[in-house]
């Protein structure tokens, strides 16, 4: 027979009472456990909380006014670092033969497998909620506070909050004191001194993402002050980009800019908790923790690891579907996760379930790009403090083409290491020593590049394929970087307006103008126009395929749903007639570009000379060249 004891409410300690509210709610999930039914529960303490802090609360509910040795209950604490034989010995002595057992552990890893596998359930302890704090203040301190005041108070570190709340002290006074406590970011990610100390407004290279983040900081401030509702605040952002581009650094800088806390997590961290039930519990606990800290930023790294439900195979399909569904529930939540902004990071945005990106969840997507030359110099100066001279700046820009923020940080570390070895301040020479050697673009190679870029320039200018912004031939290239641009002709496309078939054909002709010029002047063209999806030939092929298979501007009125280059290629391979029509469009526009250049040989040659000598040509310079060539051509002048 099980002896029933009266549950005891703790009233001497605010901390104990608050923890009793939390743990009692958890133990009620186990059917009949608090009423005397046998069971074995393991509780995993909040990160940073001593598991022994929960002991008085749990003991009060299990033992009541009875003594532990006379009851049929066992409560045990396991801390990180304890030896497993000692843990097992203590468990056998205090708990193993008891009807009701509660083990409180620092984390799952410190629990011996013999204990972990014999438990009925393992539950992650959530943080103290505003409702828990409100009840504890009322009972222990005899202070009445509102739910909103409790929520505001819980933004402060727990240990400081406990010391600030005192009997008879008005809650407004408590909140006023807590506002002076500096914000501390919470993150599982490795900490970088520079990244952790800078706000977003101080960062370089984030473009539209930085603009979004600064606006979010303003909106969160207005929301906290009651000037706007939560419905007017962006609730989610998907950041995509290559590895090392700084997605996690962005989230830390954003949290500092907004003056809020940061929670960093991922599916991998949740999976490390154990089986499916543990994973889902860890996920929900993190979202609950974020809501208790609101306003806060929650970074979910490697978002594509959740997968797309439409691509799941029979193997593990049920498991993966439940994980995605649980994520959607957490992103929705009944209160709209008020105060929690979710930033998701990924290298592969196409692998994310579309439902995750639905309006109201993570509905804004910004693709981060590798930093341009000026931004790379600014990042180097920010990380290392090295002032780069005007003489060396162009070379360092070229030497760092294709480098991410992480690559630049590594270069700066290497430069500082060289300076430390010689016991002197770091300078730009230390940086240059560690960079790859450049190859100068000169001689016949430079002329070849100028012919190619002049072809793009002249064809695009004649067809009005966009607003001409300028053409450049680089002085240096980095041999270590594959598929590197040696020059470029830039045309800005119109943002709006009706685009007929001819508009797209003009773009294709402009893209093929480079190799058309090479064949016209040199008798053949090189492989520089191909190589990847972003090359001249790659973009032209995609445009021609879209005309015929998606935009309804080809021989057939047909729409094909495609999302990436692989889909386009698969479509051409499956439909042989489509591939033939695409080839026909490309060949016709190639010949058209050659015809334009043939009629404009004199102007093309003049553009080539300017690019060879000066390395660049702007809109005004091209217009002047055109006028000067017309003066030398009596027919065109007339």
Q: Of 592 and 86, which is predicted with more confidence?
A: 592
pLDDT over 50 at 6, yes or no: no
299-308, 330-339, 577-586: least confident range: 330-339
Q: Domains of the chain: which residue ranges? A: 14-124, 130-178, 193-367, 373-435, 443-631
pLDDT over 80 at 129, yes or no: yes
How large is the average pLDDT for residues 485-509? 85
Q: Of 501 and 81, which is predicted with more confidence?
A: 501
Please name the CATH architecture into which domain 443-631 falls: Up-down Bundle (1.20)
Please name the CATH architecture into which domain 14-124 falls: 3-Layer(aba) Sandwich (3.40)
pLDDT at 312: 80
Measured torsion, CA atoms of residues 185, 186, 192, 195, in degrees rounded to the nearest 10: -40
pLDDT > 90 fraction of the chain, expressed in percent and rounded: 22
Residue 174 exposure: Cα atoms within 13 Å on the Cβ side: 25
Which range has highest mean pLDDT (39-53, 426-440, 557-571, 588-602)?
588-602
Given this structure, which CATH class describes domain 193-367? alpha beta
pLDDT over 90 at 412, yes or no: no
47 Cβ contact list (under 8 Å, min separation 6): none
Tens-place pLDDT, residues 322-344: 999 999 988 886 556 788 999 99
pLDDT at 187: 38
pLDDT band at 471 (very low <50, low <70, confident <90, very high): very high
pLDDT at 214: 92
| pTM reported for the whole predicted model | 0.51
Q: Of 67 and 267, which is predicted with more confidence?
A: 267
Fold matches, 14-124 and 193-367: yes
pLDDT over 50 at 507, yes or no: yes
How large is the average pLDDT for residues 268-294? 85
- Select from 91, 97, 99 the least CA-distant residue to 35: 99
How large is the average pLDDT for residues 163-174? 85
Rounded to whole angstroms, how far apart are CA atoms 592 and 590? Answer: 5
10 Å CB burial of residue 162 (0-12, 13-18, 19+) is middle
59-68, 203-212, 488-497, 617-626: least confident range: 59-68
Terminal CA-CA length for the chain: 115
Q: Of 244 and 410, which is predicted with more confidence?
A: 410
Active site (catalytic) residues: 453
Q: Of 531 and 519, which is predicted with more confidence?
A: 519
Tens-place pLDDT, residues 340-359: 999 999 888 888 888 998 88
pLDDT over 60 at 524, yes or no: yes
Choices 1.20.1250.20, 1.10.357.10, 3.30.360.10, 1.10.8.60: CATH for 373-435: 1.10.8.60
How large is the average pLDDT for residues 87-105? 87
In 225-331 the beta strands, taken as DSSP E runs, fall at 236-240, 261-266, 296-301
pLDDT > 70 fraction of the chain, expressed in percent and rounded: 90
pLDDT band at 540 (very low <50, low <70, confident <90, very high): very high
Q: Tokens 């923020």 sit at which residue?
A: 405
pLDDT at 335: 58
Tens-place pLDDT, residues 549-568: 888 888 888 777 776 667 77
pLDDT at 499: 82
Q: Annotate 310-334 with three-state secondary structure.
A: HHCCCCCHHHHHHHHHHHHHHHHCC
């Amino acid at each position: 027979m099980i002896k029933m004891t009266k549950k005891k409410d703790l009233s001497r300690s605010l901390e104990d009472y608050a923890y009793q509210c939390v743990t009692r709610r958890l133990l009620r999930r186990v059917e009949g456990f608090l009423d005397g039914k046998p069971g074995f529960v393991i509780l995993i303490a909040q990160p940073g909380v001593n598991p022994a802090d929960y002991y008085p609360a749990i003991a009060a509910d299990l033992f009541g006014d009875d003594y532990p040795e006379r009851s049929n209950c066992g409560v045990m604490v396991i801390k990180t670092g304890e030896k497993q034989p000692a843990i097992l010995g203590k468990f056998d002595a205090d708990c193993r033969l008891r009807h009701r057992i509660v083990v409180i552990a620092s984390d799952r890893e410190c629990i011996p497998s013999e204990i972990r596998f014999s438990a009925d359930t393992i539950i992650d302890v959530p943080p103290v909620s505003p409702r828990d704090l409100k009840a504890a203040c009322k009972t222990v301190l005899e202070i009445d506070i509102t739910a909103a005041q409790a929520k505001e108070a819980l933004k402060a570190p727990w240990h400081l909050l406990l010391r600030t709340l005192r009997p008879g002290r008005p809650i407004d006074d408590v909140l006023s004191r807590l506002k002076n406590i500096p914000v501390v970011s919470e993150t599982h990610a490795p900490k970088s001194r520079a990244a952790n100390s800078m706000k977003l407004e101080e960062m370089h290279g984030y473009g539209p993402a930085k603009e979004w983040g600064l606006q979010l900081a303003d909106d969160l401030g207005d929301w906290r002050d009651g000037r706007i509702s939560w419905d007017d605040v962006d609730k989610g952002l998907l950041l995509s980009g290559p590895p090392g581009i700084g997605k996690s650094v962005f989230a830390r800088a954003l949290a500092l800019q907004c003056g809020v806390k940061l929670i960093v997590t991922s599916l991998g961290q949740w999976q490390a908790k154990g089986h499916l039930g543990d994973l889902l519990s860890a996920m929900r606990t993190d979202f609950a923790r974020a809501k208790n800290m609101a306003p806060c930023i929650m970074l979910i790294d490697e978002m594509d690891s959740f997968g797309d439900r439409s691509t799941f195979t029979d193997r593990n399909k049920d498991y993966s579907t439940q994980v995605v569904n649980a994520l959607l529930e957490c992103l929705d939540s009944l209160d709209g996760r008020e105060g929690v902004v979710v930033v998701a990071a990924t290298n592969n945005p196409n692998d994310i379930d579309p439902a995750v990106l639905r309006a109201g969840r993570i509905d804004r997507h910004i693709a981060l790009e590798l930093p341009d030359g000026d931004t790379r110099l600014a990042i180097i100066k920010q990380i290392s403090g090295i002032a780069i001279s005007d003489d060396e700046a162009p070379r360092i820009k070229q030497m760092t083409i294709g480098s991410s923020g992480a690559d630049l940080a590594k270069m700066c570390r290497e430069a500082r290491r060289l300076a430390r070895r010689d016991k002197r301040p770091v300078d730009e020479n230390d940086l240059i020593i560690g960079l790859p050697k450049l190859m100068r673009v000169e001689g016949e190679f430079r002329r070849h590049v100028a012919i190619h870029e002049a072809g793009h320039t002249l064809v695009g200018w004649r067809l009005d394929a966009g607003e001409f912004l300028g053409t450049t031939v680089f002085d240096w290239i980095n041999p270590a970087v594959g598929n590197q641009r040696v020059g470029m002709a830039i045309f800005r496309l119109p943002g709006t307006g009706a685009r007929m078939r001819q508009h797209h054909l003009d773009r294709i002709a402009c893209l093929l103008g480079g190799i058309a010029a090479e064949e016209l002047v040199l008798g053949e063209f090189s492989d520089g126009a191909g190589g990847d999806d972003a090359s001249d030939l790659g973009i032209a092929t995609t445009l021609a395929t879209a005309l015929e298979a998606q935009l309804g501007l080809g021989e057939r009125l047909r729409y094909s749903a495609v999302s990436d280059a692989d889909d386009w290629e698969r479509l051409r391979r499956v439909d042989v007639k489509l591939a033939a029509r695409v080839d026909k469009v490309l060949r016709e526009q190639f010949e058209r570009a050659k015809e334009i250049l043939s009629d404009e040989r004199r102007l093309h040659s003049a553009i080539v000379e300017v690019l060879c000598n000066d390395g660049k040509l702007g809109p005004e310079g091209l217009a002047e060249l055109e006028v000067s060539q017309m003066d030398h051509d009596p027919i065109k002048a007339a």
